Amino acid sequence: MIWNSLRLYFRYAGISFRSQMEYRASFLIRSLAQFTVTGVEFLGLVALFQRFGHIDGWTLPQVGLFYGMVSVAFATAEAIPRGFDVFPNLIKSGDFDRILIRPRSPALQILGQEFQLMRVGRFVQGMLILLWSASRLGIDWTLSSITLVVLAILGGVCLFSGLFVFGAALCFWTIESIEIVNCLTYGGVETAQFPLSIYRPWFRSFFTFVVPLATINYFPAQAILNPDGASSGYLIAWLSPLAGLAFLLVCLQFWRIGVRHYTSTGS
Amino acid sequence: MNAYLSILVSRFQILLQYRAAAAAGVVTQVFWGVVRAMIFDAFYRSSAGPQPLTHDQAIAYIWLGQAMLLLTLLSVDADVAAMIRNGSVAYEMTRPLDLYSLWFVRALSGRAAPLLMRSIPIFGIAGIFFGLTAPASLNAGGLFLLSALIGLLTAAALIALLTISLLWTVSGEGVSRLAPGAIFVFSGIIVPLPLLPGWVQRIAEVLPFRGLIDTPFRIYLGDLHGAKAVTAILLQLAWLGALIVWGKVALARGVRRLVVQGG
């Protein structure tokens, strides 16, 4: 069953891939545009570090590690569950009804709606910064620390996907798209580009316990930057990306409640 | 002239109906402002040296940026873009109106109405809760309003240019997608211009984008005052005039080579 679903998903993704490649120039320009917009954002950061030297003791390559990890995770999450991001249109037009009558899970079909390739712009930008920071940090990259980075990014993909699913599920009640969720997605990325320790306590708690952004970014990165830290910190770092997965599962559960609650707009 | 004015007023009134969108925009921008203010707080407490802007000025700059963010998000009106794409732009050309003025006025109302609905509440919220200071002086406040109005007109002129670029690229890709990167850096929305390295500032000073928000903000903060403020406003006006002339010339050329497919 699960293999069958995966195969179906890859067919969906393949179709989406081919259709976007039909407009090759458009794809290239969009990716390039995303690369430059996120790129100049980072240059702004570089300028601030030139002026101020450091931020609460964190250097640019250290902040670059946070920045790169969250950018790569977010870019991936924007590409894969893009269908949930544009989901309000399906509700408004009533097209969701068609999805419900097909003998496959609605979540899988929404997931397969679109695989947004242009996100490769942000992905590449984030990856370059991650690699640049990694080389500038002057720490020994062991297999375990690389694994931790990868796990943290995967946890981040789950977390942001969860937020997109959550935003889509809200539409079952509101019909309209809820822009406020953007605060959590785009705002979350903006926030996690810096170590969470620079923010005010209430804000830190929110992004640790309500939306567990700290677990896919701050804790793992901190463990990598301070390999000699307390062993309890190390344990938290390794376990915390799981919180991203847990968050996604909770959001999917919320989505299922929404599907049960759904009444068509009839249009 | 009256025709353009009534288009402006009626479009403005239509756009004022989008209150829910404006409320969502206010919440988003306030959230953004809180995050960015905390980041700049942290930078300022990390370094004791003198900076071109004081901490309070930098925070005020950020909040002004959140209030007037729309002046830097220059996207082509979706209706006009669709018209160029599907050919109904031909009808626009048969109207007894100057096409450039028509598009300019549309762009102007498209920015002005949402800007007003977002900026006034954000000014209030940021002023009461988040340390947005009042203008440096009464004089600075008055010049700020004038300069911000020119900034709004500059935004409309830039949008008109982006719209005209669609006559060449049709699909809406190209210039209109790649321009935002430059606008973000050189308007001062990413990092306040006075905090950028000197050589970047010198480039920014001769580009039109600083006229969108940086010039009005610095007048507000008292960073530009007296003769400097007047020069900055004159420069804004010069760029506004140049962008309008550029737009008119480009449109005339674009229309000459325009082929509308029948159907």
pLDDT tens digit at each of 267 positions of chain A:
778 888 888 888 888 888 877 777 778 888 888 888 888 889 999 999 988 888 988 889 999 999 999 999 999 988 887 778 778 777 777 777 787 888 778 877 777 777 777 788 889 999 999 999 888 887 878 888 888 889 999 999 999 999 988 888 888 887 666 677 888 888 888 888 999 889 999 999 988 888 888 888 888 888 888 776 666 667 777 888 888 899 999 998 998 888 888 877 665
Phi-psi region of B10 (alpha: psi -120 to 50; beta: other; left: phi over 0): alpha
Q: Give yes or no for a contact between B130 and B63, defined as CB atoms under 8 angstroms apart.
A: yes
Q: Which two tokens stand for residue A66?
A: 């946070």
Say yes or no: B130 contacts chain A, CB-CB below 8 A: no
Q: Which amino acid, one-letter code, is at A215?
A: T
Through-space distance between the first and last CA atoms of chain B, rounded to whole angstroms: 33
Residues 3-42 of A with CB under 8 A from B: 23, 25-26, 29-30, 32-33, 36-37, 39-41
Would the CB atoms of A25 and B173 count as touching at under 8 Å? yes
Reference B209, options B223, B222, B196, B221; nearest CA is B196
Q: Are A179 and B18 in contact (CB under 8 A)?
A: no
Closest Cα partner for B74 from B177, B215, B173?
B177
- The rounded distance, in Å, linking the Cα atoms of A36 and A30 is 10
Nearest chain A alpha carbon to B45: A56
Asked if B36 and B10 touch (Cβ cutoff 8 Å), the reply is: no
Inter-chain residue contact A51 with B42, CB threshold 8 Å = no
What one-character DSSP code corresponds to residue B174? T
Per-residue confidence (pLDDT) for residue B216, from 0 to 100: 94
The pLDDT of residue B40: 93
**A55 - beta bridge partners?**
A58
B191–A48 C-beta distance less than 8 A: yes
B1 secondary structure, DSSP code = -
Closest approach of A102 to chain B, Cα-based (Å): 34
* DSSP 8-state symbol, A58: B
Number of H helices, E strands in chain B: 11, 0
- What are the two backbone dihedrals, phi and then psi, of residue A55, each rounded to the nearest 5 degrees? -125, 110
pLDDT of residue B170: 61
Contact B42 A194 (CB under 8 A): yes
The secondary structure of B244-259 as a DSSP string is HHHHHHHHHHHHHH--
Joined together, the tokens standing for residue B243 give 């962008």
Is residue B201 within 8 A of residue A54, CB to CB? The reply is no
What residues of A are in contact with residue B200 (Cβ under 8 Å)? Answer: 47
What's the Cα-to-Cα distance from A85 to each of A50, A122, B20, rounded to whole Å? 37, 17, 19
Give ipTM to 2 decimals. 0.85
Instruction: Give Cα separations from A57 to A63, B46, B47, B201 (angstroms).
Output: 10, 7, 10, 27
As a whole number of Å, the CA-based R_g of chain A is: 19
Residue/partner pairs of B52-57 with CB below 8 Å, 24 or more apart: B52/B194, B52/B195, B53/B192, B53/B194, B53/B195, B53/B221, B53/B223, B56/B131, B56/B133, B57/B133, B57/B221, B57/B223
With a pLDDT cut of 70, the percent of chain A lying above it is 95
pTM: 0.87
- Tens digits of per-residue pLDDT, A95-125? 777 878 887 788 777 777 777 777 888 899 9
- Structural contact between residues A50 and B197, judged by C-beta atoms closer than 8 angstroms: yes
In sequence order, the 6+-apart residues with CB closer than 8 A to the CB of B261 are B87
Contact B84, B189 (CB under 8 A): no
Beta bridge partners of residue A58, listed in sequence order = A55
Within 13 A of A212's CA, how many CA atoms are on the CB side? Answer: 27
Q: What is d(CA B9, CA B155) in angstroms, rounded to the nearest whole number?
A: 18
Half-sphere exposure of residue B24, counting CA atoms within 13 Å on the CB side? 12
Q: How far apart are CA B125 and CA B123, in angstroms?
A: 6
Q: What is the spatial distance between Cα A77 and Cα A86, in angstroms, rounded to a whole number?
A: 13
Residues of chain B with pLDDT under 70: 1, 170-173, 259-263
A14-52 confidence digits (pLDDT tens): 888 888 777 777 788 888 888 888 888 899 999 999 888
